Structure formats: structure tokens, C-alpha cells
Amino acid sequence: MGSSMCLFIPILLPFLFSMFNFLNTSSSFPTQPLCNDFERFALLQFKQSFVINVNVNVSNDPFAYPKVSSWNSGEANDCCSWDGVQCDRVTDHVIGLDLSSSYLCGSINSSSSLFRLVHLEKLNLADNDFNYSQISPSIRYLSVGNKTNY
């Protein structure tokens, strides 16, 4: 019985090694959605339309921080991994944006790139300083059923 076990191990080892390699390489596939370029560009334009000023008392939240400061245009940087951005795991579209308490200062006008994120289902821009911006009629272009907080 001992000699048959010795013959079995050399045959089994290559099989186990190939299974380990397969599992190791297949686990490197992304499990997080990848942002499409159009939506990434719209988010970056939205970021650029504001001043981020942590020195001004814009937020009442003790845990406030400028979420958009980590957003950048690097090709390897996926907007689905950015602070405050949520993507759909099937379609990869940006479906949620939570920029509450992010020290955003500026205005939201009708030409804002925010309105190009047509798959948004949730939007939270609360506790920022939008200079008493009027809600633009362009908000109607966002997805039906949005849950929007200002």
C-alpha cells in the first residue's frame, strides 16, 4: 500500500499545481465595477467646477472631508473606487454619488456635468456651500426614481 501511495503523489502534484495556478489567476479578475470613460470625465469636470476649501466653516459634520480630492484623471484610476461614488456591478454605470460634507464651494448650473450622469439613482450633496444655487430644470434628465438630497 505504501508503494502505491508513492506512485499516486507524483501524478497528483501536477494536477494540484495547475488547479492552484488557475484559482490564483482567476482570483485576480476585478470584482469591482470599472467606470466608463464618459462618466469618469463627467465626474472630473464636476469636481473642477468647485473650490474645495476646508478652511471655511462649510460643514457641520465633524467627520467631513473633501471626498473629491482623491479623484484624479490617471488612466489606472477607476472612478468606481473613488470616495463617494457608487457603481452598478452589472452595467458599471455610476448610480450613486454621495458628496455630502465634502467642503464643496460653488454653484451648480444647468450645464453642470452632473447632469451627464444619467444613470444616477442616488445623489447626496448635503452640507456643502452651493451659493444658494437654484435647482436646475436639468435635474429632470437624471434617472427616474432618484433619491436626491441637497
pLDDT by residue (tens digit) across 99-115? 999 999 888 888 889 99
What DSSP element (H or E) covers 3? helix 2-26
pLDDT averaged over every residue in the chain:
77
Q: 128-148 pLDDT, tens per residue?
A: 888 777 777 777 766 644 444
Kindly state the average pLDDT of the residues 57-77.
80
Q: Is 134 helix (H, G, I), strand (E, B) or coil?
A: coil
Reference 138, options 70, 148, 90; nearest CA is: 148
Spatial distance between the Cα atoms of 19 and 13, rounded to a whole number of angstroms: 10
Q: What percent of the chain has pLDDT over 70?
A: 67
Residues forming a β-bridge with 94: 87
CB 36 within 8 A of CB 91: no
Per domain, the residue ranges of the chain are 37-149
**CATH fold for the domain made of 37-149:** 3.80.10
Question: β-strands 104-105, 51-52: how paired?
Answer: antiparallel
Q: 2-38 pLDDT, tens per residue?
A: 555 555 555 554 554 555 454 444 444 555 558 888 9
Q: Say yes or no to pLDDT of 81 above 80.
A: yes
